[in-house]
Amino acid sequence: MPANKNRKILFTDLDGTLLNDEKQISAGNQAAIDEALAKGHAIVISTGRSLPSALALADRLGFSGEGCYIIAWNGGQIYDLYHERAIYSKTLSRSLTRPLFDMAAAREIHIQTYDSTHVLSEHDNQMLRDYERFTGHHYRVVANIERVLNVDPYKMLAILYDCDAHNRLEAFRQELLSAYPDIISSFFSSDTYLEIVPKGVSKGSAIRWMCDYMEIPLENSIAAGDAQNDISMLEAAHIGAVMRNAFPGVAEHGNYVTEADNNHDGLAEIIRRFML
């Protein structure tokens, strides 16, 4: 089948991009998405969140028609909403959970992972409760992660709240990459969230995979994001659209910066400028 030279594909981050600060989608963003889909273009939610969390949001948005996809877990899983099936998956080995949980505990850093239904942690704390509130993904506190985790997880997440959180997490990241250079990748999704995923997994690699899978030229791809875990997709897409409200240092990795932020239909600006 020849590539679809006219169809465009938008990869959009959720928090700080598609969603406003109240974790809602604006009427303006919703209308622009609906118009793009009606014209046959594809819209892909691309998030570090779990698939269950992203699916719940997609259901709330009525985001289920042809051309609707989710990239979850920072690229670890790709899901076709129209056909209701996963089309790509890559996981960590569950054997990594004990050593990584122990490494985090030694640095007094919260760490969590995921089974098919819940966030799993060995300690209850404010970071875990906040994560559930932000994402809607329920958690379980377990005594021993090795005895409970019965699937290979898509990711682990290290979280820290203090005045030196980013520096402490960066030191932890370097320790992880030194210990497991051929097994994991690790990057920030905010100053206090450190993502730990399989080697080679990123939003950028997911963009390249999806364009090939859907036979859409990479030249027809647009990525929209605001955070460090969006950098790989901003660089991979033909148009890397950075939100005005992006974290410092992210804008240099794109080739367009929005005039509006995520609270004022910034994503609609991107869709109308580059898709419609």
pLDDT in tens, 246-256: 999 999 999 99
Residue recorded with tokens 């005594």: 143
List the domains of the chain with CATH numbers.
9-90+201-274 (3.40.50.1000), 94-198 (3.30.1240.10)
Q: What pLDDT, in 10s, does the model give residues 127-145? A: 999 999 988 899 999 999 9
pLDDT of res. 75: 97
pLDDT at 1: 38
**Tens digits of per-residue pLDDT, 90-124?**
999 999 999 999 999 999 999 999 999 999 999 99
- In sequence order, the β-bridge partners of residue 252 are none
Q: What is the pLDDT of residue 239?
A: 98
CA separation for the pair 181, 235 (Å, rounded): 23
The Cα–Cα gap between 214 and 211 comes to 5
The pLDDT of residue 5: 75
- Quote the pLDDT of residue 4: 64
Q: Give pLDDT < 50 ranges for the chain.
A: 1-2
Distance CA 156, CA 263 (A): 29
